[in-house]
Structure 1
Amino acid sequence: MSHIFHPTSLREYDIRGIVGQTLGTADALAIGRGFATLLRRAGGTRVAVGYDGRASSPVLEKALVDGLTQSGVDVVRVGLGPTPMLYYAEAVLEVDGGIMITGSHNPADYNGFKMVFQHRPFFGEDIQILGRMAAEGDWDDAETRGTVGEFAILDQYVERLTAGYAGGAYRIGWDAGNGAAGPALEKLVKLLPGEHHTLYTDVDAAFPNHHPDPTEEKNLADLKKLVADNGLDFGIAFDGDGDRIGAVDGKGRVVWGDQLLAILAEPVLRAEPGATVIGDVKASQALYDRIAELGGTPLMWKTGHSLIKSKMKEENAPIAGEMSGHIFFAQDYYGFDDALYAAVRLIGAVRQSGKSLTELKDAIPPLVNTPEMRFQVDESRKFAVVDEVLDRLEADGVAVNRTDGARVNTPDGWWLLRASNTQDVLVARAEAKDQAGLDRLLAQIDDQLAKSGLKRGEQAGH
């Protein structure tokens, strides 16, 4: 028996697709067979499995569990919850791996699988190996099927979120966006001091109120209104599976992912002076400057939650974050991206600063930047275009940071061009001290694209 995955579903950080078109129960079964086979060959025996609130999740979970047990691995089902709840289960239960069924912040007809293998992220080449094993039918058949048990971990997970709580009593608005973090959030706010107003905590696979992606400002409109109408201190939002955070201050201004990381890093660096703080290549120069100012060691790394997690372990970094709202804590936590935990730590960081989140936002240097600009390009060209740009810039003697694509510093500011690992798009971003400088940076991006026969077209959605 063998299985061929749809070529678009095997991504860099996970396996993801449109249910009924590029992803289905046969894929879930094959993932279970392959993952269990790899785990047993590495000496593992048990896997935790969780799922998000999408309509297709329960049926995919059933097929996944079937595949895992066929190849002799025992399964602990932790049920419906946010992705970090599954990561938590994998970290604290006696298991050797974890699989989360989630479509993250993709549209409602998507779903996918995020995996952890013996406490490390399972991504990149690991996912390609699963694909090859499936094509060859290279799966172990167990003499006796694995067992299936259930463990309701939600309450334990929520209690862990508030362990050692250092925040004060604030008035906070919350928006779960009808995603999988809703039930955990309802329990969390009961454990926190202060006054809490929640939106859309009921899990609804159709996302009837707005798309659950807090990095797009239009999706924060209801949260801004909630904060304004009730005169709240600030607001916090989550994506569809609870591993990415968004925030607005008391004036309704968005506090972006890199700005949140700068605020969250301050108490971390107070406890661990000189520690490494990792940001991604999309983050503002202001973040790296601020980390250095706080006595930390700033490190720019590649975009992607699996890549950042691996780098954190290598560098022994206590905290890391991405522009997209993935925030990772290794200090007093497990090193994975957990938006609910980041929210609790944010309340603590605001309190320890002695200022309000609005004042902290006011203190961030005003820079002019573009949103993340995404434009479609043929899959076969996307990496080649970045290489062409790099070669031309270096030939011209321009100083380029090659960490992840091309990031170019100029007297005006910086610009970035990189290929997405998950879609057939190029991603560009620029940041300057003023609009005139930003226009000059955008002209440089356009010039480089034109030399490779492209132009910034209609921005592709997520």
Structure 2
Amino acid sequence: MASTSTSLIPLRGHGRKASFSSSPAKTALKKALRFSFSSRSSVVICVKSSSGAVKYNEVVVDEEMDKIRRLQNGSDVRGVALEGEKGRTVDLTPPAVEAIAESFGEWIIKALQKERGRPVEDVTVSLGKDPRISGASLSVAVFAGLARAGCLTFDLGLATTPACFMSTLLPPFAYDASIMMTASHLPYTRNGLKFFTKKGGLTSPEVEEICDKAAHKYANRLTKVSTMLNSPPKKVDFMRAYAKHLRDIIKERVNHPIHYDTPLKGFQIIVNAGNGSGGFFTWDVLDQLGADTFGSLHLNPDGMFPNHIPNPEDKTAMALTRAAVLENTADLGIVFDTDVDRSGVVDNNGNPINGDKLIALMSAVVLKEHPGTTIVTDARTSMELTRFITDRGGHHCLYRVGYRNVIDKGVHLNQDGVETHLMMETSGHGALKENYFLDDGAYMVVKIIIEMVRMRLEGSDEGIGSLIKDLEEPLESIELRMNIISEPKYAKARGREVIEAFRSYIEEGQLKGWALDACGDCWVSEGCLVDSNDSPAAIDAHMYRAKVSNEKNEEIGWVHIRQSIHNPNIAINMQSSVPGGCQLMTKVFRDKFLMVSGMGKTLDFSQVDKYARLGKMG
């Protein structure tokens, strides 16, 4: 009989005691190690025979699996990759990433086999990353996981999220799938994964399936990240091809009558890449097309993001870009987020254009090309934006918060025969039907630049901001947060109870003058905000919007309440067209709903209370 040696590997943070299949094994282990079993620990016995073979008596514990499941962030994966955040521990570890990448590889292979009706070989997957300093070690884990699954891997190096998707389509690359490693605008300590096939980004339910498979792998695996790969990743320069793709679009659509190859000659354009992945747009797109990019900011990749958060919604990013545009009398300023799936712009007068203004600008461009088209946005956009779109002959469909929800709604409307060319969320995520329904910040800017050049060729000396000069801004706008008082595992259920109670109060008429808002243009579908065809993930992110009227039945604003997908809190967005309207609606929400319904007992609504009393946040 082969001799054996026994070792013990503790797995911390479990919620069960360990159990063993054989009493002798348990007795021997206790005698040898005098180990005290804690109610918060579990163990895995590793038995090594003289032949070198390792067998595991695995104890799969829910909490270990939940570590992976909690990394799901809607249709992405995100977590803490580096120490340095107060109150947060590192959870996006190389072993976790390897398990997720392996599960994604297996998922892709299975999907392709089902699609083709036969076994598949040589499935190809590319990986790109933003400049975060955790990218190198986590990339090794991704490649190891994909190799475990049997995929061939290709390293794009520093890349953008839209480029990763395009690597599945543009020849000669045309990979079967792609992963982008990024945490968007979040701090340098964070990182994450975004997944693509040739059909686009994965949905939340698909990512949930992958994370669930990865959770089982992670809980059962006792090895470190694989260091031996059957086929090392092949490095490819895809960004050069992607930049040429963008340049060709600008040249072909501008079709400049004098200098076709340099249609941006005579334009000065400032780019603020925020030390993310967007610098390529300056060097490989704008400069190559003849633009003057002097004065551009933070183009060199730096994963510590030393200057400001790479985010078009960040006030510092916008202020610095605005100053650069005015100082250089530039024609346009561009602000990219880290992975360039979002962007914002500054016009030649230094006016920041993001949020509703950016949606309005893109709507004006798209409606010129596609009169009467439908434009889908999230439900936080203003009543003024709806008027802006409808005044130009378009239709406005208000939908659930979450860029994936908004894009998917546009896809479904097109499938139902409703022409929908633009889907855009107030955060800056925007997708166009003509661009594979991909949220691509660089492509959005390309559309704006093309329109800017066309305006000049038509004899206009006005900047791009003139297209939205008649967009009115809401008189008042506010966002408040209520933290859910509960253990983390019960927070989602508690939040759902609050949201549904809010809906019931309105439907039962307990909030006088409040009515559930279906859609800015209800002909599109029966109640876009509450769609029976929603995915389970969309339904799980409970949210409702209510129109609020005064005693004279005059509409004074709206209230949108939603449960955060990522954090244990509830967000309340309000807009009003009358002075003091947001404070008035907040008082009604506090006094007539929170206090009467009893829902306030499960919430920290101090922010709501303060605004109701003082009419200000600070």
TM-score (norm 1): 0.90
**Structure 1 match to 2:211:** 131
- Residue 389 of structure 1 aligns with which residue? 502
Asked if 1:324 corresponds to 2:427, the answer is: yes
Q: Residue 120 of structure 1 contacts residue 310 of structure 1 at CA under 8 Å; is this kept in 2? A: no
Q: Which position in structure 1 is the counterpart of 2:186? A: 106
2:12 equivalent in structure 1: none
CA drift of 1:18 comes to 0.5
Which residue among 244, 247, 250 is the counterpart of 2:345?
A: 247
User: For 1:162-173, what aligned pairs fall within 5 Å after superposition?
Assistant: 162-165=247-250, 166=254, 169-173=266-270
SS of aligned partner of 2:249: coil
Checking the alignment, whether the CA contact within 8 Å between 1:70 and 1:146 is kept in structure 2 is no
Residue of structure 1 aligned with 2:389, choices 291, 296, 299 = 291
Instruction: Give the equivalent residue in structure 2 for 1:34.
Output: 103
Within the alignment, does 1:43 sit opposite 2:112 as a pair? yes
Bigger relative contact order, structure 1 or 2, given CA contacts below 8 A and separation 6+?
1
Deviation, structure 1 residue 375: 4.4
Q: Which amino acid aligns with 1:133?
A: K
2:577 pairs, out of 428, 433, 453, with 433
Moved segments of 4+, more than 6 Å: none
- For 1:272, the aligned partner's letter is H
Give the drift of 1:207: 0.9
Unpaired segments ≥5 residues, structure 1: none
Letter in 2 for 1:359: S
* Shift in Å, 1:80: 0.8
Q: Aligned pair 1:216/2:314, yes or no?
A: yes
Structure 2 unaligned runs (5+)? Answer: 1-57, 83-89, 114-122, 221-228, 255-262, 415-419, 486-490, 518-528, 531-541, 549-554, 611-618
Q: 1:119 to 1:259 in 2, by over 3 A?
A: same
Residue 12, structure 1, aligned to residue 74, structure 2:
yes
Residue of structure 1 equivalent to 2:379: 281
The offset of 1:147, in angstroms, is 6.4
Q: Deviations over 1:43-62 (max 9, x none)?
A: 26221211111000121111
Residue 356 of structure 2 is aligned with which of 253, 258, 265? 258
Counterpart position of 2:271: 174
Q: CA deviation at 1:179?
A: 1.0
| TM-score for the superposition, normalised by structure 2 | 0.68
Question: 1:43-122 counterparts in 2 under 5 A?
Answer: 43=112, 45-92=123-170, 93-122=173-202
Q: Does the residue aligned with 1:207 lie in a helix, a strand or coil? A: coil
* 1:3-24 residue CA offsets vs partner (Å, 9 max, x unmatched): 7334431221211100151111
* Cα deviation digits, residues 12-43 of structure 1 (max 9, x gap): 12111001511110111101210111111122
Deviates more, 1:30-39 or 1:309-318: 309-318
Q: Is the 8 A contact 1:370 1:430 kept in 2?
A: yes
Residue number in structure 2 paired with 1:400: 516
Question: Is the Cα contact below 8 Å between 2:376 and 2:398 reproduced in 1?
Answer: yes
Residue pair 1:369, 1:429 contacting (<8 A) in 2 also: no
Q: Which residue identity does 2:333 align to in structure 1?
A: G
Asked if 1 retains the 8 angstrom alpha-carbon contact of 2:484 and 2:570, the reply is yes
Partner of 2:27: none
CA positional deviation for 1:309: 2.8
Question: Contact conserved, 1:258 with 1:321, CA < 8 A, in 2?
Answer: no
TM-superposed deviation, 1:328:
0.9
SS in 1 for 2:581: helix
Larger Rg: 2
In structure 1, how many angstroms separate the alpha carbons of the residues matched to 2:124 and 2:201? Answer: 16
Over the matched positions of the two proteins, sequence identity in percent amounts to 24
**How much does 1:369 deviate?**
3.5
Indicate the larger mover: 68-77 or 265-274.
265-274
Q: Is the Cα–Cα contact under 8 Å of residues 266 and 349 in structure 1 kept in the other structure? A: no
Distance (whole Å) between structure 2 residues aligned to residue 213 and residue 267 of structure 1:
23
Change in Cα spacing, 1:291 to 1:150, as seen in structure 2 (3 Å) is same
What is the rounded CA distance, in whole Å, between the counterparts of 1:35 and 1:405 in structure 2?
A: 30
**What do you get for the CA RMSD once the two structures are aligned?**
2.6
Task: Measure, in 2, the Cα distance between the counterparts of 1:298 and 1:268.
Answer: 13
| SS across alignment from 1:457 | helix
Q: Is the 8 A contact 1:413 1:433 kept in 2?
A: yes
1:300-324 deviations in Å (ceiling 9; x for gaps): 1222232233222222322211100
SS of the residue 1:90 aligns to: coil
Structure 1 residues 351 and 184: alpha-carbon distance in aligned structure 2, compared to 1, 3 A threshold: closer
2:334 matched to 1:334? Answer: no
1: CA distance between counterparts of 2:195 and 2:506?
A: 38
1:234 and 2:296 aligned: no
May I ask how many residue pairs the two structures share in their alignment? 454
Answer with 214-223 or 445-454: which moved more. Answer: 445-454
Corresponding residue for residue 484 of structure 2: 377
